[in-house]
Structure 1
């Protein structure tokens, strides 16, 4: 925020300006990566998370997701689809993330496969599509809660 003096109708006025690029009280410090190849689903999840106050990055496949994780050490949670084109699917991506970045929390989703907890890395959550967006928000908040 910075102060600026302006003149209007011969009168001096002080105004506070807030840069749209610096809004720490609005954006959560929690950075989330959404990896989903279906554009409309990805956009929906990203929008829901942003409206809930999270800082969200997005990737269209596992390869892009890995590159983003390598470049952004602030990511604390990954939401991934299971069935995606590319070098690895969402299960393989989840396993890679758990191995390379153990602190990152993982949520996986699929409309075709119903997974058991044993199919996913330890601590990961699974949602069968279609899911309620409120469930995703609750899960993200639960996994990223500061103790």
Structure 2
């Protein structure tokens, strides 16, 4: 990866399930992305506040805590409209109107190739 941070492709992965979060991080790292991680929405907002180079938020919808992934996506879109949104869930399937800023959705379990292609498209 280039030392020029303006060329970095940074993804923030948010999931309360450690195994699922680590798997997503491994897949993205292997695909050449820089990855940050958070276990819930509050932790994600703290990271976003201190990392200006995040280009994609990849978040689970169903999470415990002060807000779920849809609420997190709405909050991030209002704070940082430059961040592309990709949501995932194995329980709910939001319609396009529910995801801010033409964000994308991928159902769990997802194919790794499909997941990486969705993230790559967000940076294109």
Structure 1 length-normalised TM: 0.80
- Gap regions ≥5 residues in structure 2: none
Equivalenced residues, count: 122
Task: Measure, in 1, the Cα distance between the counterparts of 2:52 and 2:65.
Answer: 23
CA RMSD for the aligned pairs?
A: 1.4
TM value normalised by structure 2 = 0.94
1:93-132 to 2 correspondences below 5 Å: 93-132=72-111
Q: Structure 1 stretches (4+) deviating beyond 3 angstroms?
A: none
From the two aligned structures, give the one with the greater strand fraction. 1
* Structure with higher helix content: 2
Structure with bigger gyration radius? 1
Deviations 1:43-93 (A, max 9, x none): 000000000000000000000000000010010110000000111100000
Task: For residue 48 of structure 1, give the secondary structure of its aligned residue in structure 2.
Answer: helix
Looking at both structures, which has the greater relative contact order when contacts are Cα pairs under 8 Å and sequence separation is at least 6? 2
